[in-house]
Structure 1
Amino acid sequence: MAEVQGRLTPQTGFIVAAASDFVRFDQATFIDFYQPLLSPTALGLFYALQSQLKPDPMLTKRQAHSIMLDRLNLGIAQFAEARNALEGVEMLQTFYQQDEIGGVFVYVLQPTMTPEEFINDDLLSVRLLQQIGEQRFNELVAHSRRYQFDTSRMHNLTHDYFEVFKPDRAAWDAERPTLNNARATAVQKSNSIKAVPQNDFDFGLLLSRLENRGVDLQSVKDQRRLILTESLMYGIGALEMADLVFDATDFRTSMLQPNILKQRIAAKYAGTLRQNDDPAPVVAAGDENLDGLGETERNLIKVARENSPNDFLAGIKQSVGAAYVSPNERNTVLRMIENSGMPNEVINILINYMFVEKEYTTLKSGLADGIINAWTKAGVKTAADAIREIKKHRKSNEKQAGAKPRRRYYSSGRSNINEELPEWAKHPEKVKNKKPSAEKLAKIDQMLAELNQQKNNPGTKK
């Protein structure tokens, strides 16, 4: 991610542009495939941005964000969260620069994928499957292919260009300058960045387990990104993944079927604690500096390192008496795994912070993004680093306990609305946290005991 982070205020300027291939945008595909992944706010923001498209966009024609905030009745934090969601599903790219007039954002609308491209996208298709369920997902797949016909066993008699047309070289040379000029003045499309998730998953072991089992190994290698993402999300080891891949293979062709693999994994793990004794990959404990951390904090680190984010989230929600893990929460965790580069243990400490210290009942996507960004800037690499960062800000805030936090408002003809991002996200040094009470520390101890009991006795539920 770029180092430049544009500051968003109601007065910050913006313009809207469209990618060169935005003509591919299909309304039906957007509603069927993208809408289930977006909140009503994010959906409204997309259409509001689309309505701002004007011919020949120029920075000198910028407008203030207050126009969009008023129109959608949003604060800055809500707007930023909706914008992030559109970026996450690749319907929007955001650019920023500072000039003599001030900061300005350029929002570039992106086209929808074709249904087939969406189905073959490892990340978006998994998220959609989790969100709408297998039955509805299969209905969308069937609907998108309703006009297709398998011609793979037929002879292709289609004529190519040179069989139909006889090019005139002289005419082509005469028109060449015009064509070259059109190509040279085209705006190049910025490609989205999709990093392969990093973890300790042993892909070589997976391939060796699948040898001589009738599975085309190249088809498995082609789905490396999907397999790594799913293993990170649910803490699936190589041996267990081998069985899942085997079950998702079409043995008429020996090819791994990625959609079947997604369905198998979603059905087995989504929203539940794992029922397998294989531990998630663990970073060597001896490499982590635990100086200055108490026994409770060390126990928390141990649990954070031994559980996948999916297990940890499900377990901690049970421990604090919250409801089940929602699809949106699973999506938030999956997005943090894919985009942040943080190890699982750090994401688990973030989950603990939000549910135990902040006492939220749901995983708040916008706040989670803000914390991850703050920790990235602070150089957080391990669970211990994350706990020290929390303690550092807590200590700093105790010195400012008498100071009132500053709030900024904008007027829109209605009641004033706090338009700042969460304090942790924008000014981590000013967060007002209380030192944990004895009661809260006892709650943490109880939570740790319950998480360990659930891990050691998978069939036991609270």
Structure 2
Amino acid sequence: MGEEIMEQEFNPQDGYIISANRHISNDDKEIISVLYQPIIGIMASGIYQNLASMVNYNAILSDKMRLSKLINYLVIDLKNFTDAIHRLEATGLIRTFVNEDENGKIFIFEIHPPVSEVDFFKDDLFCALLLESVGKEKFIDLSKWHKYPSTISQGFTEISKSIPEVFHLTVPSITITNEVKPQSESQNTSKALIEKQNVTLDIGEIKKYLLNSFVKFEDLKKYINELKTAKLVYGLEEYRIVKLLERSVDIETNKIDIELFKENCNESFDAVFKKQNQYQSTNSTTNAKTKLDEDPLIQAFQSYTPLEFLQILKQELGSFVTDNEKRTIYRVVENENMNLPLEVVNALIHYYLVDKEFSNLSKGPFEATLADWQKHQINSARQAMEYTKKITSRRAQTKNSRNYRARKIIEKEKLPDWAINKEKQTNRVTNNKQAKAQQEKISELLKKTK
């Protein structure tokens, strides 16, 4: 049987030990304060600083203490402590291990130093997280911060010797050294942060979208980590990644400008995020007094972004969001000419999938309807619902009127002449009797002549 994996659920009665794989210096703590704190938050930063000062470098299991004592010392509740530990784990500052015996669980919090400021800005994921946290202007300022600047060597030529030049190791000895070299568990700390995350990039999807693109997949192979970062930080689907790559090609070299791609990702995210914030702040000011009295359906329109609302609604309907629907929503939200509140977009999603019972959103009709609503200045979900009712009612009346006229015409065409007018019917019967009498007289005359 496989080894059972225990959940990371902290209990005040659990035991804990704080260890470290190396000494955490004051320089490390300064990097945490300057570069990491905007990402992980001041609470997680403070907890890291405290745990780093409590490290027992020669810890054994009998040194364990109750987690409740640590939480009380930090003057924090269990929920915030857990959230802070998760943030520190995600950024590689803490590795958490757990075991369980007859006395309950025991956790080891292994403190790791931060990467250097140079390596920090070489890591795309760290850069993306910091950029998202502080904004472009502050990010540029922080990127110039270096604890130990090495500009003094500029203009000089390095003549340092390498290992093969000095030690003259033979190939067999190098091979043996690599084979018997101990593999430390902490070696993965040297990896880029994105490589430690569980990010799945669908290469097959990207290749499919590149079939009709001027971007070549061969040019992207060396940027896989950057693409994963874009997917993780900005929530981009493979289709959106390809579209942003197409906007990031250097015209002169016809190659991907990866720095331009990062800027485009950030600007695209900012545009959507700004529109969502604008929508949420507008709703909070205009509906603050009446929100409790609103229709629950309208509250749902106001509570979610369009993609979230679409995913929830599709799940309720027992279906799923297609790639085309995702692209449609992205196009709408990112359209600079679309000035409708997002609650109106949600109202239209509901109208198509629930009221009209469409199985999927179709790009053409969806965008055309939004354009019509913007033209008629539909500025709230309630206005959208009233407008759709009015349009539906008007169309129903028009349809009924047309059906009535068509039915009259059809009836008139199908009915025989005798059924159209009673007077004509009577005349026809009379004429038939007269014709029959005349026919009988003619028959009698013919008999007499024989």
- Which TM-score applies when normalising by structure 2? 0.53
Match of 2:185 in 1: 188
1:268 paired with 2:265, answer: no
Match of 1:46 in 2: 48
Deviation at 1:140, TM superposition (A): 2.3
CA contact (8 A) 2:11 2:67 kept: yes
CA contact (8 A) 1:320 1:356 kept: no
**SS of corresponding position for 1:32:** helix
Structure 1 runs not aligned, ≥5 long: 173-179, 276-310, 324-352, 362-381, 389-445
- 1:22-79 CA distances to partner (integer Å, 9 max, x unpaired)? 6797233222210111222211111121121012112210111122211221111111
- 1:402-427 CA distances to partner (integer Å, 9 max, x unpaired)? xxxxxxxxxxxxxxxxxxxxxxxxxx
Counterparts of 1:6-155 in structure 2, within 5 Å, are: 6-19=8-21, 26-144=28-146, 146-148=149-151
C-alpha separation in 2, matches of 1:124 and 1:28: 16
Quick check: which one's helix share is greater?
2
C-alpha separation in 2, matches of 1:158 and 1:166: 15
231-240 or 260-269, which moves further after superposition? 231-240
C-alpha separation in 1, matches of 2:85 and 2:25: 21
CA contact (8 A) 2:28 2:114 kept: yes
**SS of corresponding position for 2:137:** helix
C-alpha separation in 1, matches of 2:199 and 2:107: 28
CA contact (8 A) 1:11 1:64 kept: yes
Match of 1:256 in 2: 257
Match of 1:375 in 2: none
CA contact (8 A) 1:197 1:225 kept: yes
C-alpha separation in 1, matches of 2:256 and 2:273: 30
State which structure, 1 or 2, has the greater radius of gyration over its C-alpha atoms: 2
CA contact (8 A) 1:96 1:103 kept: yes
C-alpha separation in 2, matches of 1:98 and 1:322: 53
Instruction: Please tell me the residue identity of whatever aligns with 2:53.
Output: S
Instruction: Please tell me the residue identity of whatever aligns with 2:257.
Output: L
Instruction: Please tell me the residue identity of whatever aligns with 1:37.
Output: I
Change (3 A) 1:231 1:251: farther
CA contact (8 A) 2:39 2:130 kept: yes
C-alpha separation in 1, matches of 2:238 and 2:139: 24
- Which TM-score applies when normalising by structure 1? 0.51
CA contact (8 A) 1:22 1:111 kept: yes
C-alpha separation in 1, matches of 2:168 and 2:207: 53
**SS of corresponding position for 2:144:** helix
C-alpha separation in 2, matches of 1:222 and 1:18: 28
Change (3 A) 1:26 1:230: closer
- 1:115-161 CA distances to partner (integer Å, 9 max, x unpaired)? 3432233333212101111122122223349535898x997643234
Match of 1:203 in 2: 206
- 1:362-414 CA distances to partner (integer Å, 9 max, x unpaired)? xxxxxxxxxxxxxxxxxxxx7479769xxxxxxxxxxxxxxxxxxxxxxxxxx
Change (3 A) 1:69 1:214: closer
**SS of corresponding position for 1:270:** helix
CA contact (8 A) 1:201 1:231 kept: no
Structure 2 runs not aligned, ≥5 long: 174-178, 190-195, 288-295, 305-310, 318-340, 350-366, 381-450
CA contact (8 A) 1:209 1:242 kept: no
Change (3 A) 1:40 1:314: same
1:243 paired with 2:217, answer: no
Instruction: Please tell me the residue identity of whatever aligns with 2:161.
Output: H
Change (3 A) 1:69 1:239: closer
C-alpha separation in 2, matches of 1:253 and 1:96: 51
**SS of corresponding position for 2:161:** coil
**SS of corresponding position for 1:265:** helix
Sequence identity (%): 15
